[in-house]
Structure 1
Amino acid sequence: MIRSSRIILLFLVLCSLNCQGSPPTSNAIESMTKEATEEGLVSITSDARPPLTNVSISPVLQPKESIPPQFTYILRNRQGKVCARVSLGVEYVVRENKKKYYFNINPSLTRATGYCGVSESLLSLDFDGGNLQFVFKKEGSFSYVNTIKGHLKPAPPCKNCKNKTYIGVMDHEKLFKATNGLSFKCNTETTLILADFFRVKLVPLQIQAFDLNNGAFGKEVECWADYNRRMIPIILGAVAAAVCLIAILTYLLVRERRGQGYEQL
């Protein structure tokens, strides 16, 4: 009887070991990692900041405009290489009941997500109650933002106002175009009309996807607005200097002719 019990106990132990199976081998782990990498999905990081909480905070619209806080958002692939970098401040502008309301994205409550691709990448700035998405395209020797989508679901701006979700998109565009390896920069306010009642302001802006050297911005491509702001004072100064020079030369010429006339008399 005792011998039979021992045999049964040994049989149960062997069954238990077979059912548990062996842990995955290193080859299996590498295979799973490779499959995940080929999908292009990434997890994201920006500069150090407090972790997001699980408390849902609805965006609160403000009646007055203010300067949005600037922050640098970074998107990395699974190998840790930076594939997109954006430095900006974001302000949403909505129109409701013929009034304008404003909401600034808070970097400490925002996370960057998306994916990295060879010719297309997506960077999404996500926060409770909305997001802002940039779709980057690489075409030949240039890269640009092809699509910008905005989504905002704020708390009602007034007691009698209803809950409303604002959604807008700019698609099939070639925004912030730059040669590969260079970044696009604009210190002047950039306003994008996502819908008739929904706009987004980016102040200031520096953006680049693909071909980032050591994760840093490449040489800057200046936007036309900044170029005009820088060149117009120079042009006006040159025109003013030319007018003064012409006036001086005219005065000297007239004076010289008058002197010659007096000598003849």
Structure 2
Amino acid sequence: MTHTSCHIALLLLLSSMQWLGSSLASNPLHLSASVEEVPAIINSDPPITNLSKRPVLQTKETAPPQFLCILKNLQGKVCVRASLGVEYVVRENKKNYYFNVNPSATRVTGYCNNQKAVFSLEFYGGSLEFTFIKEGDLSYVSKVNALLKPLAPCKNCQNKTYVGVINHDKLFKAKNGQSFQCKSPTTLLLASYFKVKLVPLQIQAFDLANGAFGKEVECWDDYNKRMIPIILGAVAVAICLIAILTYVLVRERRNQGYEQL
């Protein structure tokens, strides 16, 4: 093998690795959020008479049950469809406490028009609301509101109403007629002490053909999990090829040296 052929092989190998890296870096689906900090409200709401129905925070995290819910417009057509599991995470006294939303105790409310949809999950002691916007050929969630009124998680803790909001953002972006999907956990930081975890998540507003989800748009975390093994495999192959090329090149040089003698 000549020096020229070795250089060509190495250039092709480096070009392939650069293409894989640029593909991963250019994926536009990374979720970010601007959070409006809202303080927790202490004992400011009207008392809930049936305390047994208030959400009970747990010290251990468990997978939330998944459920499918839809919202229809005035014409009776599905305008929002969501499949998700919802977990609230509260931070108190430097500890995390968890509450999973029960599908059987949750109702869907909201409204839809051609450019905006408000989709809210409501249960006794809390709610989670998404505001969808349709802008050109894209739709996204511009605002997320959450509220939770749990029983005090510990003896020294006070009863609080936890509220949080993400506003002025473009979450779960998808083209019209497509759905946003994320099998990995999606965490929405609503306040420093309050967040919501959605796992798994598939959601779509507007242009639902026959009320069904459209083609899935993959979230960043899922894309990353799928691409990392491919990139690692390519790197391993590259290392093997470089080792083989180096061995062949050294061997040829030794053989040429013997012929000259």
1:180-219 alignment to 2 at 5 Å? 180-219=176-215
Q: Which amino acid is the alignment partner of residue 175 of structure 1?
A: L
What stretches of structure 1 of length at least 5 have no aligned partner? 1-53
Q: Deviations over 1:36-73 (max 9, x none)?
A: xxxxxxxxxxxxxxxxxx99611110111111111111
Q: Deviations over 1:197-229 (max 9, x none)?
A: 110111111110000000000001111221111
Question: Counterpart of 1:116?
Answer: 112
Is 2:151 the counterpart of 1:155?
A: yes
Which of 55, 73, 76 is the aligned partner of 1:77? 73
- Does the 8 A contact of 1:141 with 1:179 survive in 2? yes
Distance in 2, Cα, partners of 1:89 & 1:196: 22
Q: 1:64 to 1:55 in 2, by over 3 A?
A: closer
- The DSSP-based 3-state class of the residue aligned with 2:113 is coil
Q: Deviations over 1:86-144 (max 9, x none)?
A: 11111111111111101111111111111111111111111110010011111111110
Which of 120, 135, 138 is the aligned partner of 1:142? 138
1:20-35 alignment to 2 at 5 Å? none
Which of 175, 178, 192 is the aligned partner of 2:174? 178
Question: Counterpart of 1:49?
Answer: none
Q: Deviations over 1:141-160 (max 9, x none)?
A: 11100110000000111233
Aligned structure 1 segments of 4 or more residues deviating by more than 4 angstroms: none
Deviation at 1:79, TM superposition (A): 2.9
Q: What TM-score does the superposition give when structure 1 sets the normalisation length?
A: 0.77
Is 2:102 the counterpart of 1:106?
A: yes
Aligned length: 212
Which of 239, 246, 250 is the aligned partner of 2:242? 246
Question: Counterpart of 1:232?
Answer: 228
Distance in 1, Cα, partners of 2:161 & 2:240: 58
What stretches of structure 2 of length at least 5 have no aligned partner? 1-49
Greater RCO (Cα-Cα under 8 Å, separation 6 or more): 2
- Does the 8 A contact of 1:56 with 1:128 survive in 2? no
Question: Counterpart of 1:92?
Answer: 88
Q: What TM-score does the superposition give when structure 2 sets the normalisation length?
A: 0.78
Q: Which amino acid is the alignment partner of residue 65 of structure 2?
A: P
- The DSSP-based 3-state class of the residue aligned with 1:147 is strand
Q: Which amino acid is the alignment partner of residue 150 of structure 1?
A: A
Distance in 2, Cα, partners of 1:55 & 1:63: 19
Q: What is the Cα-based RMSD across aligned positions, in Å? A: 1.5
Distance in 1, Cα, partners of 2:246 & 2:71: 63
